[in-house]
Chains A and B, each alone.
Chain A
Amino acid sequence: MHTSELDPKDYKYIVEHPNKDFSPRKNNAIIEETIKEADKYHRTEGLVIEEALGERIEAVAAYSCYRFNRGTKSIKQYLGDKLYAKMVGERILEKVRVSQTADSFSNKFKKPILL
């Protein structure tokens, strides 16, 4: 886009003497880079749902498949003590967060302590 294509309303923003770092090519490269990064961000599914929730969903899916393949272990045995405890802990923390938010809401909007 050339300066001559600008809307007259924007003439006042034209920099008469651009600084020595100014480079249209460099600008375009940054614009392209941000588009690529935004694309990548939007494609990354795990960013949206809490990672812990995503992990629990994958674990439940994997365990369900295991059971349908005639697996007999309990979910605790299947996941192992450590992972099982971690998931249960996350679930409890999630409930605590919601309840804490509810408390703060009923107590004149005080900011909750984030766990």
Chain B
Amino acid sequence: MSTTAFALSDYNAALLEVVQPYIQDNVPKQAKLMQVIKTNDGVKYMNDEFIVPIRSNRHTGVANLNSANNKLRTGAAPTTRGTVSPKLLTATFDINDVVKKASANDKGAVESAMTFQMRAIKNDFVKSANRQFASDGVGVVAQVAGSVGAGTLTVKYPDSSLDDGRSIDWYGTINGDIKPTKYLSVGTPGMAIGIGTAVADVGTITSISYTRGNSTGTVVVTGSPAIVANDAVYIVDGDEEGSNNEIQGYAAALSSGTASYAGLSRDLDIWSPQIMGEDGNAALTIADMDSVYMDAVEYAEEGDRYAWFMNKSLYTKYGNLLTALRRTVNKTELVSGWSGLEYEAGQGKVGVFLDYEVRDGEAVLLNLDTWTVCQVADMSFVEDGLLRRSDYITFQKVFSWYTNLFCKCPAANGRLLRRTK
């Protein structure tokens, strides 16, 4: 039997709240492919489009004469152009004057609300850009597993049943490296998502639940959007539009499909990436990695830099494979601070690196010299000052980047799909 002594709970009205003196940032870590490409001096200016002239085939005037009197075969080296347009990445928050003033010094809050929001917005903005560098530009962030009732849906990691046929090379959860709700978030106001091909319906997220290890998570949205199994889920803008407007990352350039990339047909030899593993799940092997690598290197130029990127399960598996083969594991660095493991078959210094944005069950081989970040201008706040919204005591800050990614030779890159740990 418990005593009736005066307890903490009896005095809680008078107790001061003890708050951790900083705001814990619990958003998952993200990989920074952009940093690597920028370090590689691959950033170019663009305006309404970014055009790259490409030599598409061998010179047709190269032929041996059968005899000294034979006619010469004249020819030319054919060229063509690839083009991408800028994608408009933005991050916005509104803050009202009361919150701003109330939290502007350490008497009122542990951190200024505006400083926290500005810091968070630039971090999450870059994380979004990194996700998009790994994506195909269609913008799918999850797939509906089913409807649980009005306004409630279960979501899963996208698989081959995804209803948006523009987004391919999805095979569902393979190693469980990316949870199905990873790219969805709750807030005030909540994230708005489009559901169904080309954002057929829209809802605003009010809650997300996910139990570690499960293949699905549950999302509750406002309104009563139509929810059908296999609907694609996208992040939408203020006008509730959001399909096919993301950066065309390596999943677009290195797609296993036949759709054109950057306006050029995949029939072009240099436009077809080295893909392996679409037929079924299989264990990661060094032999398959070597096969993709050797095929890609054939299209590379002298001195091109290569790197493999894998998510956590396959990265660990690669290290364990080397140990099982009785090979000594050596450390290497991609850029200062981002370390990985040496890839022995590589010509020159090639490494295998951990990247949390690589799709589940994939090993991606990038020729870093074939990629260019094209941008209208550097990422920045749209204006340096704070603008008050007319008729409100509310201010708005907008962070933006008008950019896209371009691969000048997909054939010099590759992907190993459906690899298990």
- Judged by a CB distance under 8 angstroms, whether B386 is at the interface is yes
Residue in B130, B286, B319, B356 whose beta carbon sits within 8 Å of that of A10 in the complex? B286
A-side interface size class:
35 or more
Q: Given the known A-B contacts A10-B285, A50-B378, are A28 and B323 also in contact in the complex, defined by CB atoms under 8 Å?
A: yes
On whether the beta carbons of B312 and A35 are closer than 8 Å, the reply is yes
Kindly count the residue-residue contacts between A and B in the assembled complex, taking CB atoms under 8 Å apart.
Answer: 159
On whether the beta carbons of A41 and B43 are closer than 8 Å, the reply is no
Cβ-closest chain A residue relative to B125:
A49
On whether the beta carbons of B122 and A54 are closer than 8 Å, the reply is yes
- Judged by a CB distance under 8 angstroms, whether B34 is at the interface is yes
Convert B358-395 into 0s and 1s, putting 1 for each residue whose CB lies closer than 8 angstroms to a CB of A. 00000000000000000001111100101000000000
On whether the beta carbons of A53 and B380 are closer than 8 Å, the reply is yes
- Judged by a CB distance under 8 angstroms, whether B40 is at the interface is no
In the complex, what's the smallest C-beta–C-beta distance from A93 to chain B, in angstroms? 11
On whether the beta carbons of A38 and B338 are closer than 8 Å, the reply is yes
Q: Cβ of A27: which chain B residues have Cβ within 8 Å of it? A: 319, 322-323, 328-329
Query: Which residues 329-363 in B have Cβ within 8 Å of A in the complex?
Result: 329-331, 337-341, 353-354, 356
Cα separation A2 to B321 with both chains bound (whole Å): 9
In the complex, what's the smallest C-beta–C-beta distance from B19 to chain A, in angstroms? 19
Q: Cβ of A61: which chain B residues have Cβ within 8 Å of it? A: 112, 114-115, 118-119
- Judged by a CB distance under 8 angstroms, whether B326 is at the interface is yes
Q: Given the known A-B contacts A31-B329, A50-B378, are A7 and B283 also in contact in the complex, defined by CB atoms under 8 Å?
A: yes
On whether the beta carbons of A68 and B378 are closer than 8 Å, the reply is no
Q: Cβ of B130: which chain A residues have Cβ within 8 Å of it? A: 48
In the complex, what's the smallest C-beta–C-beta distance from B16 to chain A, in angstroms? 23
Cβ-closest chain A residue relative to B50:
A105
On whether the beta carbons of B320 and A42 are closer than 8 Å, the reply is no
Interface of A is mostly: helix
On whether the beta carbons of B327 and A68 are closer than 8 Å, the reply is no
Q: Cβ of A39: which chain B residues have Cβ within 8 Å of it? A: 29
Cα separation A53 to B399 with both chains bound (whole Å): 12
Q: Cβ of B329: which chain A residues have Cβ within 8 Å of it? A: 26-27, 30-31
On whether the beta carbons of B324 and A5 are closer than 8 Å, the reply is yes
Cα separation A92 to B83 with both chains bound (whole Å): 29
Convert A15-44 into 0s and 1s, putting 1 for each residue whose CB lies closer than 8 angstroms to a CB of B. 100110111101110110111011111111
Cα separation A52 to B16 with both chains bound (whole Å): 39
- Judged by a CB distance under 8 angstroms, whether B183 is at the interface is no
On whether the beta carbons of B339 and A34 are closer than 8 Å, the reply is yes
Cα separation A109 to B44 with both chains bound (whole Å): 10
On whether the beta carbons of B339 and A38 are closer than 8 Å, the reply is yes
In the complex, what's the smallest C-beta–C-beta distance from B326 to chain A, in angstroms? 4
- Judged by a CB distance under 8 angstroms, whether B93 is at the interface is no
In the complex, what's the smallest C-beta–C-beta distance from B13 to chain A, in angstroms? 31
Q: Cβ of A105: which chain B residues have Cβ within 8 Å of it? A: 44-45
- Judged by a CB distance under 8 angstroms, whether A77 is at the interface is no
Cα separation A5 to B421 with both chains bound (whole Å): 12
Stretch at the interface among B97-105, B225-233, B235-243, B255-263: B97-105
Residue in A1, A41, A68 whose beta carbon sits within 8 Å of that of B324 in the complex? A1
- Judged by a CB distance under 8 angstroms, whether B14 is at the interface is no
Q: Cβ of A42: which chain B residues have Cβ within 8 Å of it? A: 29-32, 338, 356
Cα separation A28 to B112 with both chains bound (whole Å): 43
Residue in B32, B118, B326, B353 whose beta carbon sits within 8 Å of that of A47 in the complex? B32
Cβ-closest chain B residue relative to A98:
B45
On whether the beta carbons of B34 and A48 are closer than 8 Å, the reply is yes
- Judged by a CB distance under 8 angstroms, whether A114 is at the interface is yes
Query: Which residues 69-108 in A have Cβ within 8 Å of B in the complex?
Result: 69, 94, 98-99, 101-102, 105
Q: Cβ of A69: which chain B residues have Cβ within 8 Å of it? A: 101, 104-105
- Judged by a CB distance under 8 angstroms, whether B126 is at the interface is yes
Known: A13-B287, A35-B316. 4 other contacts (CB 8 A): A28-B319, A28-B323, A31-B341, A64-B386
Please list 23 pairs of residues, one from A and one from B, whose beta carbons are closer than 8 Å in the complex, sorted by A's number. A1-B320, A1-B321, A3-B324, A9-B287, A10-B285, A15-B326, A19-B328, A22-B326, A27-B319, A31-B320, A31-B341, A33-B339, A34-B331, A34-B341, A35-B354, A37-B337, A37-B338, A42-B32, A48-B130, A58-B119, A68-B100, A99-B45, A105-B44
* Among all A-B residue pairs, the 9 with the closest Cβ atoms: A31-B319, A9-B287, A1-B320, A18-B326, A42-B29, A41-B337, A102-B45, A27-B329, A37-B339
